[in-house]
Structure 1
Amino acid sequence: MGLENKRRFVLDTNVLLHEPLAIYSFKEHDVVIPMTVLEELDQIKDRRKDVSRDARVAIRTLEDCLSDASPEQILKGVPLNHPNAPEEELGTLSIFPDHQITFTNPVALPGDNNDNLIINSALYLQQIGNDEIVLVTKDINMRLKAKGAGLEKVEDYRTDQLVDDIQFLAKGFAELKGSLWERIKEVTSEQFGREVFHTLSREALEEESLYLNQYLIDDSRDFCGQVKSVNDREVVIRDLGQDRLMSYHAWGINPKNIYQGMALQALMDPEIDMVILTGPAGSGKTLLSLAAALEQVVEQRLYDKVIVTRNTPEIAESIGFLPGTEEEKMAPWLAAVTDTLEVLHKQDESPASSLQYIMDKANIQFKSINFMRGRSIQNAFVLLDECQNLTPSQLKTIITRMGEGTKLVCSGNLAQIDSNYLTAVTSGLTYVVERFKMFEGSANVYLNGVVRSRLAKFAEQEM
């Protein structure tokens, strides 16, 4: 790319909170951090909230890049370097002293809040130089203000966004019209033990976007298969059968619909290391996950323990003030799991005794997500709930903690995002669904349909 196409990206604070290593995402172009952004990061880093960690990581990243530079070099631009940088040369990083701007242009915004100061920085750089200036922010209203003030280029930060619309997110299954076998001209079937695999031409399913461990169901109400291999020429499908899926059971729980059947099959499959469950509230994500965990820990003894964790913005702020052990501190935020345990044992003669017995027998541990970092979790069944509130980098940190013999279940509802810095398309849950589609050790299922109650179903559909 020639120098005439050089661009300078002015980053808003929320970009660095969303992705602390964002300065390395702009390839050969230059990155500008207004002084106001550093001040905001400084204020956020000491807050007792989960986002404070991201602020500290962003500050350390900037410090690593600028630590050996002189004040003059920092103003001019210090070359970016990163061991995992792309092959092409990276641009520079500079700090812009936006408090020293003197505007004569009437379109400048009043400098009475941080957003205006950052916008003014971009406007000033646009006026004094020949480079193309781009303000990058995840704040929609700030993008509108910047355009209204005369800034020519304003963008969202989307390097980790793999889908443009949540309706295109992979559901983990494809519903074929008609009967699959009526559209197939030639098929080769092989049996290995109890399993049957069909090899057919890719052309027969050319209208479908296929990926590994994707489920296929058709209108016959009989066929269900799972994609085990796919290329440009052929597809290998493992024959499961809808009746077989509906007969799966775990800890006394049977699937109520074919979507739960697919989810339970993935949860019980020892060859699947990670299961991603999405879907509306009341679709059975937690119930199926916990039932599968208890079945495989207590009955089958495939794992040594069950670890349950989740992310909530309040945990980092409030957990230290609660009495008791880590498990007791976490209990208020993991009530969904304890409620599910009660449902699984409500028919017992003494539900309370059964609950405590199972908690001990399955070695169920409630862990704060903040204490998962730095660990190596071995031979465990891990339930990670409310994943929609995690960023891609946070979720990556947790997934890389999983050691040998561990199964991870990531679940969440993309319609219930609590974070101010995430949307359905930028959530870490959306990211892993798309990124792990071609990983043979993962499966994804969207649980289509609310089975909790008719009240919950009506609320999900009509509100």
Structure 2
Amino acid sequence: MGDTDRKIFVLDTNILLHEPFAIYSFKEHDVVIPMTVLEELDRIKDSKRDVARDARVAIRALENLFKDATPDEISEGIPFSHEQQATGTISILADYMLQETFKAFADKEGDNRILNAVLYLQNKRAPRDIILVTKDINMRLRAKGAGVLFVEDYRTDQLIDDVEYLTKGFQKIPGDFWEGIDNVETSVLGSNTFHTFSRDAIAPSYVNQYLVDEESDFAGRVADIHEDDITIKDLSHERLLSRQAWGIRPKNTYQGMAMDALLDPDIDLVILTGAAGSGKTLLAMAAALEMTIEKNMFDKIIVTRNTPDIGESIGFLPGSEEEKMMPWLAAITDTLEALHKHDHCTEGSLKYICDKANIQFKSINFMRGRSIQNAFVLLDECQNLTASQIKTIITRCGEGTKIVCSGNLAQIDSHYLTPVTSGLTYMVERFKNFSGSANIHLNGVVRSRLAEYAEENL
């Protein structure tokens, strides 16, 4: 590897599972892959876990780099490419040959070997910086305790530094919206009213962003943005709160904005974020039933969500795929029951509605490779998905399909995801400039006063 000013990055296994092509993020430096990482990738690639595909992709990426290299070149390091900007090298370290320097947790032998490799390089390559990169928080703590000088998280996929800066989907205008806005051109198209004025008057950042003010009854949605002017679709608070689907009316302005986006046939992707009890799933299911049964806009409703251990445990549950999924989709069935709780026979109504709307409960594992046409897709609890898993689902959607993704960034269960690296955050930021999508952060808990108090005080 030679003595240079380049840093040496040692990658943990979870980095390659989180982002199989992560090695190319370090191509101006030297990357070391411990043999332990390859062994762990080998075990995972044949497993039933949902990261098995990512393990195989990472292995193929490494094989493409090393396929023509000799054993000596692999251990010394080969260049990522011969391009001018790719000045770094990548190598494999046979860490099983190293003498033990750190040992703890007998059940964490793989982690111990990786730490040994980092400590070995730290001594041998001094004064060069040896940096361990891992998504595992406890591994970072153990590394620092073992004497590793530099430990980092993988942040290349991080679009924002703090979830507080995440786009909310709406902009609150202080005072009266129309104050300070001159030269407004108003046009009427069907039942919709549009206002066009100078873009300098307000500073919305993207199409389909909602605008509400604090004093008047004004509410609107950005319909179009040009270089000099902007067009707003006039909605008004009253109109937002009067929208209804399957007997459900919005309880606040935020739910009104969500309902407006859910019922708009021109919006293909709706992203709902917010606290537990803010109404994400209820609004989505109500809109799905309204548009599928009453308006005949879709042929079926597909409900799916990520389950951290579904690859291991779904097979042990009795019944068909849909019956196996029911324990994880209880939130959806609870919502359906809530929508029909006043019916004479709730159970009979649910069976009739599920048949009439052709509601299908699917595992996210079996969505890959499908092409979903003319369907309303509800992807629930997607804060636990990575960006690549989100992409897998959204790219399945064909013509006439609307997808609603909902999640709460405060309820992430994944070992390797944080609010800023969640696929939900990634999707909100990536799709905010897409005219066929809308994102609404639902403020306020409407489930019950108990749930609201718990959300604010626990």
TM-score if structure 2 supplies the norm length? 0.92
SS in 1 for 2:326: helix
Indicate if the aligned counterparts of 2:163 and 2:420 stay in contact, CA closer than 8 A.
yes
- Taking the aligned partners of 1:68 and 1:326, their CA distance within structure 2 comes to 44
SS in 2 for 1:37: helix
1:260-279 superposed matches below 5 A: 260-279=255-274
1:256 Cα offset (Å): 0.8
1:150 Cα offset (Å): 5.0
1:215 Cα offset (Å): 0.5
1:388 Cα offset (Å): 0.4
Q: What residue number does 1:194 align with?
A: 191
1:151 Cα offset (Å): 4.2
1:321-340 superposed matches below 5 A: 321-340=316-335
Q: Show CA shifts across 1:113-140 (max 9, x none).
A: 4334323323333443465433211233
1:155 and 1:300, CA in 2 relative to 1: closer, same or farther beyond 3 A? Answer: same
Amino acid at match of 1:49: R
- Taking the aligned partners of 1:227 and 1:346, their CA distance within structure 2 comes to 37
Indicate if the aligned counterparts of 2:304 and 2:380 stay in contact, CA closer than 8 A.
yes
Q: Does 1:175 align with 2:168?
A: no
Q: What residue number does 2:285 align with?
A: 290
Amino acid at match of 1:12: D
Q: Does 1:380 align with 2:375?
A: yes
Q: What residue number does 1:77 align with?
A: 77
Indicate if the aligned counterparts of 2:279 and 2:446 stay in contact, CA closer than 8 A.
yes
SS in 1 for 2:419: coil
Give aligned pairs, total.
452
1:4 Cα offset (Å): 5.0
Q: What residue number does 2:448 align with?
A: 453
SS in 1 for 2:328: helix
Q: What residue number does 2:23 align with?
A: 23
Unpaired runs of 5+ in structure 2? none
SS in 2 for 1:416: coil
Picking from 117, 120, 139, the partner of 2:113 is 117
Report % sequence identity: 65
> Which shows bigger deviation, 397-406 or 180-189?
180-189
Indicate if the aligned counterparts of 1:26 and 1:90 stay in contact, CA closer than 8 A.
no
Q: Does 1:226 align with 2:221?
A: yes
1:375 and 1:87, CA in 2 relative to 1: closer, same or farther beyond 3 A? Answer: farther
1:82-231 superposed matches below 5 A: 88-89=85-86, 91-102=88-99, 109-110=102-103, 113-129=109-125, 132-147=129-144, 149-206=146-203, 210-230=205-225
- Taking the aligned partners of 1:461 and 1:295, their CA distance within structure 2 comes to 32
1:48 Cα offset (Å): 4.0
Q: What residue number does 2:311 align with?
A: 316
Q: Show CA shifts across 1:285-323 (max 9, x none).
A: 111111111111111111111000000112111111222
Indicate if the aligned counterparts of 2:9 and 2:31 stay in contact, CA closer than 8 A.
yes
Indicate if the aligned counterparts of 2:6 and 2:88 stay in contact, CA closer than 8 A.
no
Unpaired runs of 5+ in structure 1? none
Q: What residue number does 2:249 align with?
A: 254
1:63 Cα offset (Å): 3.1
SS in 1 for 2:26: coil
Q: Show CA shifts across 1:171-191 (max 9, x none).
A: 111111111111323323222
1:41 Cα offset (Å): 2.6
Q: Show CA shifts across 1:223-276 (max 9, x none).
A: 111122335643322111111111111111111111111001101111111000
> Which shows bigger deviation, 364-373 or 145-154?
145-154
- Taking the aligned partners of 1:395 and 1:36, their CA distance within structure 2 comes to 29
1:371 and 1:71, CA in 2 relative to 1: closer, same or farther beyond 3 A? Answer: same
Q: What residue number does 1:352 align with?
A: 347
Indicate if the aligned counterparts of 2:177 and 2:216 stay in contact, CA closer than 8 A.
no
> Which shows bigger deviation, 91-100 or 324-333?
91-100
SS in 1 for 2:193: strand
Indicate if the aligned counterparts of 2:243 and 2:260 stay in contact, CA closer than 8 A.
yes
- Taking the aligned partners of 1:439 and 1:149, their CA distance within structure 2 comes to 47
- Taking the aligned partners of 1:110 and 1:319, their CA distance within structure 2 comes to 36
Amino acid at match of 1:457: E
1:271 and 1:127, CA in 2 relative to 1: closer, same or farther beyond 3 A? Answer: same
1:45 Cα offset (Å): 3.8
1:90 and 1:281, CA in 2 relative to 1: closer, same or farther beyond 3 A? Answer: farther
- Taking the aligned partners of 2:320 and 2:137, their CA distance within structure 1 comes to 41
SS in 2 for 1:434: helix
- Taking the aligned partners of 2:237 and 2:57, their CA distance within structure 1 comes to 48
1:7-22 superposed matches below 5 A: 7-22=7-22
- Taking the aligned partners of 1:245 and 1:90, their CA distance within structure 2 comes to 56
1:88 and 1:195, CA in 2 relative to 1: closer, same or farther beyond 3 A? Answer: farther
Indicate if the aligned counterparts of 1:210 and 1:227 stay in contact, CA closer than 8 A.
no
- Taking the aligned partners of 1:282 and 1:387, their CA distance within structure 2 comes to 16
Indicate if the aligned counterparts of 1:380 and 1:406 stay in contact, CA closer than 8 A.
yes
- Taking the aligned partners of 2:344 and 2:453, their CA distance within structure 1 comes to 33
1:247 and 1:318, CA in 2 relative to 1: closer, same or farther beyond 3 A? Answer: same
- Taking the aligned partners of 2:428 and 2:381, their CA distance within structure 1 comes to 14
Q: What residue number does 2:54 align with?
A: 54
SS in 2 for 1:271: coil
SS in 1 for 2:221: strand
> Which shows bigger deviation, 345-354 or 382-391?
345-354
- Taking the aligned partners of 2:443 and 2:416, their CA distance within structure 1 comes to 27
Indicate if the aligned counterparts of 1:24 and 1:90 stay in contact, CA closer than 8 A.
no
In angstroms, what is the RMSD of aligned CA positions?
2.4
1:239-250 superposed matches below 5 A: 239-250=234-245
Amino acid at match of 1:273: D
1:281 and 1:221, CA in 2 relative to 1: closer, same or farther beyond 3 A? Answer: farther
1:39 Cα offset (Å): 2.6
Q: What residue number does 2:391 align with?
A: 396
Indicate if the aligned counterparts of 2:188 and 2:194 stay in contact, CA closer than 8 A.
yes
Indicate if the aligned counterparts of 1:271 and 1:441 stay in contact, CA closer than 8 A.
yes
1:236 and 1:5, CA in 2 relative to 1: closer, same or farther beyond 3 A? Answer: farther
1:352 Cα offset (Å): 1.4
TM-score if structure 1 supplies the norm length? 0.91
- Taking the aligned partners of 1:409 and 1:350, their CA distance within structure 2 comes to 29
- Taking the aligned partners of 1:192 and 1:266, their CA distance within structure 2 comes to 18
1:439 Cα offset (Å): 0.6
Amino acid at match of 1:156: D
- Taking the aligned partners of 1:229 and 1:350, their CA distance within structure 2 comes to 47
Amino acid at match of 1:402: C
